[in-house]
Amino acid sequence: SVVVVGSANLDLVVSAQRLPGPGETVLGGDFRTVPGGKGANQAVAAARAGAACAFVGAVGGDAFGRQLRDGLVAAGVDVRGLRTADGPSGVALITVDAAAENCIVVAPGANATLTTLEPADRAAIAAADVLLLQLEVPPGVVAEAAAAASAAGTTVVLNAAPAAPLPGDLLALVDVLVVNEHEATIVAGDASIDALLRLVPRAVLTLGARGTAYGDRSGARVRVAAPSVEAVDTTAAGDAFTGALAVAWAELGAGAVEHALRWACAAGAACAERPGASVALPGRARIDALFHA
């Protein structure tokens, strides 16, 4: 099974011909709300990919919080570790222009209240195969979760997004680091497997439509091409990839890395084929179909 400790945001999305400048008002088009946040997205990705998945996070005591909770439950995610905090849920205010360029402000809201784990969260982490982390909740709880996993022999997978330099005490607890090229540059100074392996024992570098690269300190190097798809919207492709990688790692362990990477690439590609972010996260049947294509 997989446990995710991370963020849940409601994306408030409006389309407009062009993005407004400072002090300017532009008339927008359709408005929609979409469940998001890297933590919740990766939990939904893992559940749709077929794993038993639990999410530890926090939403607000508002209507957005209920919508976020309902979305996780509908995807089959175990939400016993989802707190309801006083105050607002995390939101992302997103404006998208006609060329699909966007402008985003994130208000962390309840995510900022996730500062520590409960005993039940630590027990869930200890019983899981994989703990999956990102960097959208306070660093203290990320480190606490990684330490709980490490002590129990649960594999720690860290998706270092949004990109930030990583403290040494956290790095020492990470088994598998997953980053895209931009994140790798910020985390390791260079978008290369060799640079990442100076920080962690196993590293996965996602390369968009080019697929992914993997390396570990035993000297293994793997390169996997992404399945060729008609990409219409690559938002959340990284979340689909990371969620599926955690599932494959939980099911097959470190001995089947190439299989896990190919399967995760199929999940990322399947997400890129469909419009939208969390709504485009693929189910196991679609991942398997692209994997075997």
Binding positions for substrate are 9-11, 37-41, 136, 239
Answer yes or no whether residue 241 interacts with ligand ADP by CB under 6 A: yes
- CA atoms of 128 and 8, how far apart (whole Å): 21
Instruction: Identify the active-site residue in 30, 70, 239, 288.
Output: 239
Q: Of 276, 191, 188, 184, which is closest to residue 239 (Cα–Cα)?
A: 276
Number of chain positions touching ligand ADP (CB under 6 A): 18
Quote the Cα angle for 34-38-41, to 5°.
55
Question: CB-wise, 60 or 282, nearer to ligand ADP?
Answer: 282
User: Of 10-18, 54-62, 83-91, 227-235, which segment contacts ligand ADP by CB under 6 A?
Assistant: 227-235
Q: Is 239 a catalytic residue?
A: yes
Whether a cis peptide bond, with omega within 30° of 0, leads into 35 is no
| Least distance in angstroms from the C-beta of 242 to ligand ADP | 8
Answer yes or no whether residue 212 interacts with ligand ADP by CB under 6 A: yes
- CA atoms of 243 and 264, how far apart (whole Å): 8
| Least distance in angstroms from the C-beta of 281 to ligand ADP | 12
Residues 140-199 that bind ligand ADP (CB under 6 A): 180
3-state secondary structure of 250: helix
Answer yes or no whether residue 229 interacts with ligand ADP by CB under 6 A: yes
Please report where in the chains the tokens 């997103």 appear, as a residue: 94
Answer yes or no whether residue 226 interacts with ligand ADP by CB under 6 A: yes
Please report where in the chains the tokens 């469940």 appear, as a residue: 35
Terminal-residue alpha carbon distance, the chain: 27
Answer yes or no whether residue 291 interacts with ligand ADP by CB under 6 A: no
| Least distance in angstroms from the C-beta of 293 to ligand ADP | 12
Please report where in the chains the tokens 């998945």 appear, as a residue: 53
Q: Of 120, 34, 48, 118, which is closest to residue 77 (Cα–Cα)?
A: 48
Q: Which residues are identified as catalytic?
A: 239
For ligand ADP, the binding residues (CB under 6 A) are: 180, 206-209, 211-212, 226, 229, 231, 234, 237-238, 241, 265, 268-269, 272
